[in-house]
Amino acid sequence: MPQTQDAEKTEYDFVVVSNRLPVDRVVGSNGRATWTRSPGGLVTALEPVMREADGAWVGWAGQPNLELPPFQNEGIHIVPVALNDYDIENFYEGFSNDTLWPLYHDVIAPPGYHRVWWESYVAVNQRFADAAAAASAKDAVVWVQDYQLQLVPKMLRQVRPDLTIGFFNHIPFPPYGIYSQLPWRAEIVNGLLGADVIGFQRVQDAANFSTAVRRLTSFTTRNPAIEVAVQGQPTRRVVARAFPISIDAKSFEELAREPRIQERAREIRAGLGNPRTVMLGVDRLDYTKGIGHRLKAFGELLAEGSVDVEDVTLVQVASPSRERVEAYMHLRDEIELTVGRINGDFGTMSHTAISYHHQGYPRDEMVALYLAADILLVTALRDGMNLVAKEYVASRFDEDGVLVLSEFTGASDELKRALLVNPHDIDGLKETILQAIAMPRRERAQRMRSLRRRVLENDVVRWSGNFLQTLEQARAGRYDRISPVTLPEELEWTIDRRWAN
């Protein structure tokens, strides 16, 4: 892995700031540390831009107390920000994952509001802002990512008014009735308004944000722009708009076309006893993903005899996540108890109802699973986008497979030809599963073709391109070129009525 100390250059024209760096530190048996690239979609999307602009990435290396100088990894300049045990407990596990995460996902779990967590969030955001300011050349473009760093845009602008600042929120932005619970609701909105462009996954998220701005500030909003007028400063225009994120679709299709992956898919099916229908769920083990609702529906179908364990198997990959946060420990216990019960009640000597895996797998294995699955079940109760749905579609070059997709995911705005479900409606979910199992080949192909067109056209490179182009236009003051957020009339009416007073 080429990695060198990056002694000469310290300031860059394009800087990405995210909580986690796109690299993982691996310590070998000889005690030597090396870095491997983590395979996320964001890295793929930004890699070409990074290379062209000779950009830098500011973030945390994922381990406590690592004070590291900037270095280079496979052509990307890496600027590490250190977090100690206290920061991890209060900023990361506390405010980010136990306050903002549940609050922004419609309070599916109760958020904790603790002043020490907030103080740590402010301090760590300041540290990221300082590191980003130091890494940015004059007039640079800085793109801040996600809910852990919502104060960074304002903090950066205060010290570096020359910068063009973008922010993208990967998770939903909640309706004001929920958002208003946050004791620091005004500080966060003002933190975000330090950016020139604020991107959201869905049109509804951008609308929710504009409502919060109207309720908490005196600024006027004129879709998609917000006029930020502060006494003694020139009025700034901030754009808040939807930019639905996507995946590197081609690379999923290319992997799926490899004979070894197809062979592995056949092996997986054989290992399950070659059931007629394989259903698949792939999620981080998170309470937003609706894994329990999925299990409940499947369990009831088995109990009623609507499906037979010899015919239908559910493979559930639940990759480990946030294991030190209490809500996640409870969730794991709950899910594993349910899986055990269903398997105990309905399994036969030759067939297990649910093949459950609390593990992460390499990308190759994920694509083999996508190919092996007749049905993908995405039953999230709230999800910014849900990339798994898009990965399944991109992998199905054979134009087969049925996507069952929760209407509470950002992906459902685009993937209209999926079987859309309300996961809270267990009877509806059961009916949809039966419909997916019985769907004729012709209809499966028609639906999958249309889904694939959408995902292959709107890939992650187009997403980052759109965002960065909007940022350029904002920098040049060309607001006339930025298309507004469009809401269906009926939705606009509901939002205005609900939050009018």
Chain residues in the site for ligand GDG (CB under 6 A): 170-171, 245, 282, 284, 317, 319, 360-363, 366, 383-388, 391
Task: Please enumerate in sequence order all residues whose Cβ is within 8 A of that of 400, keeping only pairs 6 or more positions apart, or say none.
Answer: 374, 441, 444, 445, 448
Q: Which of 283, 274, 307 is nearest to 430 (CA)?
A: 307
Q: Which is nearer to ligand GDG, 103 or 385 (CB)?
A: 385
The least distance separating ligand GDG from the CB of residue 362, rounded to whole angstroms, comes to 6
Question: Rounded to an integer, what distance in angstroms lies between the CA atom of residue 278 and that of residue 267?
Answer: 13
Q: Which is nearer to ligand GDG, 19 or 190 (CB)?
A: 19
The least distance separating ligand GDG from the CB of residue 321, rounded to whole angstroms, comes to 8
Q: Which is nearer to ligand GDG, 260 or 363 (CB)?
A: 363
The least distance separating ligand GDG from the CB of residue 192, rounded to whole angstroms, comes to 17
The least distance separating ligand GDG from the CB of residue 282, rounded to whole angstroms, comes to 6
Q: Which is nearer to ligand GDG, 105 or 157 (CB)?
A: 105
Q: Which is nearer to ligand GDG, 219 or 467 (CB)?
A: 467
Secondary structure class of 146 (helix, strand, coil): coil
The least distance separating ligand GDG from the CB of residue 387, rounded to whole angstroms, comes to 3
Taking a C-beta distance cutoff of 8 angstroms, is the pair 35, 24 a contact? Answer: yes
Q: Which of 13, 37, 15, 39 is nearest to 26 (CA)?
A: 37
To the nearest 10 degrees (0 to 180), the angle between helices 441-457 and 387-395 is 110
The least distance separating ligand GDG from the CB of residue 209, rounded to whole angstroms, comes to 16
The least distance separating ligand GDG from the CB of residue 101, rounded to whole angstroms, comes to 9
Amino acid at 442: R
Q: Which is nearer to ligand GDG, 210 or 386 (CB)?
A: 386
Q: Which is nearer to ligand GDG, 133 or 249 (CB)?
A: 249
The least distance separating ligand GDG from the CB of residue 245, rounded to whole angstroms, comes to 4
The least distance separating ligand GDG from the CB of residue 411, rounded to whole angstroms, comes to 8
Q: Which is nearer to ligand GDG, 190 or 288 (CB)?
A: 288
Q: What does the buried/exposed string (b/e) look like for 453-463 if buried means 16 or more CB atoms within 10 Å of the residue's CB?
A: ebbbebbbbeb
Question: Rounded to an integer, what distance in angstroms lies between the CA atom of residue 325 and that of residue 301?
Answer: 33
Taking a C-beta distance cutoff of 8 angstroms, is the pair 471, 141 a contact? Answer: yes
Which tokens belong to 157?
A: 């602008």
Angle at 272 between CA 286 and CA 434, to 5 degrees: 65
Q: Which is nearer to ligand GDG, 42 or 182 (CB)?
A: 42
The least distance separating ligand GDG from the CB of residue 363, rounded to whole angstroms, comes to 5
Question: Rounded to an integer, what distance in angstroms lies between the CA atom of residue 189 and that of residue 207?
Answer: 13
CA dihedral 437, 411, 319, 287 (to 10 degrees): -100
Question: What distances in angstroms separate CA 346 from CA 307, 332, 412, 429, one per listed residue?
Answer: 11, 21, 32, 20
Question: Rounded to an integer, what distance in angstroms lies between the CA atom of residue 177 and that of residue 37?
Answer: 40
Radius of gyration of the chain measured on its C-alpha atoms: 23
Q: Which is nearer to ligand GDG, 70 or 410 (CB)?
A: 410
Question: Rounded to an integer, what distance in angstroms lies between the CA atom of residue 220 and that of residue 67?
Answer: 43
